[in-house]
Structure 1
């Protein structure tokens, strides 16, 4: 499961080198998947029943989860909520949903609803060429290499009479209506029973998060592995290394 504003091309490099079946999803509102027909934000817990429905359709009573960033947060919640169905959890430079406090809940809800309203009215941004759309993605919140940006664009940039545009539901840019508190997050963490491995990129979003790293120390059974690279290093830069690690796990079925 991929990260925010990404798509299943996030795992092209890993999938090509893993000696097992791997199903890569375009999560709702991303890539070639349709958007949700509601007026709310894309809360990560909304993905859980959709992923379970896919597993049910495939006849998978149990399965393993591999998630990056936002996708890792979705996988974390799924492993905690349905522990009997998840055999292993692998998180790539992400693990928890964004946290909040009870005191800021009204402000969070207000911000989410207002952002959704604005995003629904936002005009589509068109680029004159495919290359211009790729260049814009390279300079996003998390910079990408040209090859990685092209991989995303091949699955998410559409052409029309107006030019080239990135396809995603604009509502995915809105923050969640509510955020889990530390106490709630701890309850989910305590509910995970499967083996958990977290890959942390040295230039990613987790390496400097002292609160997160302190929290992780409460769960010594969770394996932490470190990678050289940025938030998307699991794509071109470290795809082979991660795939090799996955292949070395006895009996892995992703």
Structure 2
């Protein structure tokens, strides 16, 4: 598979998204979804190692080179599900597989559970379900989120003198990454402004989530999965320590592979990307 992806624009009825495309035009259709505050470059090492696939790695709304949602709108997980369905419609893919990392894995699970007739296979990297709350915490959660919205206009994005400096900061962010991985994400995620560089990402993405699913909601989605699903867990990732994960997985036929590395094991280095590819190549190419 080519190391250099094709850049495309996807003009949906309500928003325009950017994407990077890997693989032959007649390859098995796969939509790839990145994690929170990342972009399509998260698949830069992995996608070229996946054989026989037509991979469309999307910059989710508000990320990378995609448009931001209009004023007053938010970034709920189910809005991303809607976007991905419209991406599939534009690509004329009635059925497709999903490759998701972190938040992208969560969106993939919601879509596959809700529209089982559309999703052929589900390949997940260190992501499965969102953080949950119970009903008695909903009031405080909503209050925190709305207070954040009220003060957002007074905040300014960070300014960096160089790509290297931005990559150093990203390296220490959520889901710590190698410098080379941070640099790949920063190359796609930065834009020039007066005085230096800043992130293209919509600032609203840093706000607290107004409403979270309960554990009962999460169980309903996970147990509704009917397509073959493989989850790669990173030994030093964000998902492995999650309370209740083992019990949740026992309720499903999801196959789990635990690999060495951190949350971005598929991007941190070539070795990690190859290990993930070795898990997904026979899985995604199976009939």
TM-score calculated relative to the size of structure 1: 0.94
Match of 1:158 in 2: 191
State the secondary structure of the residue aligned to 2:266.
coil
> Which structure is higher in strand share?
2
Match of 2:9 in 1: none
Question: Residue 4 of structure 1 is aligned with which of 36, 43, 52?
Answer: 36
State the secondary structure of the residue aligned to 1:118.
helix
* Deviation string, structure 1 residues 37-84 (Cα, Å, up to 9, x no partner): 133542111101111111001110011011111111100100111111
Q: 1:14 to 1:152 in 2, by over 3 A?
A: same
Alignment of 1:2-151 (within 5 A): 2-19=34-51, 20-151=53-184
Is the contact made by 1:120 and 1:171 (CA closer than 8 Å) also made in structure 2?
no
* Deviation string, structure 1 residues 193-249 (Cα, Å, up to 9, x no partner): 101111110000122223122221222x11011010000111133111222332223
State the secondary structure of the residue aligned to 1:72.
helix
State the secondary structure of the residue aligned to 1:22.
strand
Is the contact made by 1:98 and 1:179 (CA closer than 8 Å) also made in structure 2?
yes
Alpha-carbon distance, 1:138 to partner: 1.0
Q: 1:112 to 1:250 in 2, by over 3 A?
A: closer
State the secondary structure of the residue aligned to 1:225.
strand
Distance 2:228 2:208 in 1: 30
Alpha-carbon distance, 1:147 to partner: 0.8
Question: Which stretch of structure 1 is more off in the superposition, 180-189 or 237-246?
Answer: 237-246
Q: What is the aligned-residue RMSD (CA, Å)?
A: 1.5
